[in-house]
Structure 1
Amino acid sequence: MESLTLIRPVLVKAIVTDNYKKAAVKELQEAIQLIEADMQRLDFQEKRLVSELEKKSPQGIPAAKQRLDQERQRMAENRQKLIYRLKEVGQLTLGSEVVYGKMESPVEIKVGDDWRRVLGVEIVLQDGIITAIR
């Protein structure tokens, strides 16, 4: 066997610009709003579920409330994480590079290839445009 095709990780980085910061803030704010809307829906569902259970099966109320409380707690934690990330975005330095995501790509390797060159691939974006592949 003279060569082999592997799937390698590719790190995608973004250069912080005003446009990047604005887009990141907008995306995070929208995600926070979605969670808040979901939390309101959960409150409404809880009221409806409790009233139904009071009529049909009152002994099921504590278990149902516990499940809903766990879901509410999970949503609140996710909301807090997003708020923290929102603060982080505000502190980013223009021109710095941040991890934007990870992808995979195929690569053909042969005997004698430099392993560091095979694995150490990253793509750099600036305002959605690829500016470097290194």
Structure 2
Amino acid sequence: MQLIRTVVVKQVLTEASKQKLLEKYFAGKLQMQKEYEQLQFELKKLEKTKKYQTSALKSHFEKELKKRHDKEKLYEFQIEQLHMLPIGSEMKQKEVQSLVEVKVGDNWEEVMEKTTIIIKDGIIEEIR
């Protein structure tokens, strides 16, 4: 019989991976800023046309603006945290599902024990 279990994927922080993550976070932050500005522009444009109920419209746009602002703050936090991490640190990247074969007589604790895959610069370095 096969079961599905969760496998944690961790990334070893190297200079190259740190730089890639920084680029990813800065790009995400920039994208949120652009979306924020675009939403502000669209709101002003729609307010001028006066075709829609302004209170409902403004409420919807404010919610979307706050969402973008919060995501931008999250990217800023991730950038700060990344600067503090030393090279060689293991960062949880994601969780994936794997199949595991079980049969009568297997030790249940060992079968369901969390497995971890360690990746360094895109290469699997270790499976624990």
Q: Same fold (TM over 0.5)?
A: yes
1:28 aligns with 2:25: yes
Please identify, of 85-94 and 111-120, the stretch whose mean Cα deviation from structure 2 is larger: 111-120
Deviation at 1:112, TM superposition (A): 2.2
Q: Mapping of 1:32-47 within 5 angstroms?
A: 32-47=29-44
User: Which residue is 2:120 aligned to?
Assistant: 126
Aligned residue among 10, 35, 39 for 2:7:
10
In our comparison, the structure showing a higher alpha carbon Rg is: 1
Aligned residue among 30, 54, 65 for 1:61:
54
Deviation at 1:114, TM superposition (A): 2.5
- Matches of 1:76 and 1:114, distance apart in 2: 49
User: Which residue is 1:100 aligned to?
Assistant: 93
Q: Gapped runs of 5+ residues in structure 1?
A: none
- Matches of 2:10 and 2:102, distance apart in 1: 24
Please, what is the CA RMSD of the aligned residues? 1.2
- Matches of 1:28 and 1:84, distance apart in 2: 10
TM-score, with length taken from structure 2: 0.93
| Structure 2 residue matching 1:110: 3-state secondary structure | coil
Deviation at 1:12, TM superposition (A): 0.2
State the aligned residue count.
127
Q: Gapped runs of 5+ residues in structure 2?
A: none
Question: 2:115 is matched by which residue type in structure 1?
Answer: V
- Matches of 1:91 and 1:43, distance apart in 2: 34
| Structure 2 residue matching 1:9: 3-state secondary structure | strand
- Matches of 2:5 and 2:28, distance apart in 1: 31
| Structure 1 residue matching 2:6: 3-state secondary structure | strand
| Moved >2 Å (runs of 4+) | 114-119
Q: Mapping of 1:45-84 within 5 angstroms?
A: 45-53=42-50, 56-57=51-52, 60-84=53-77
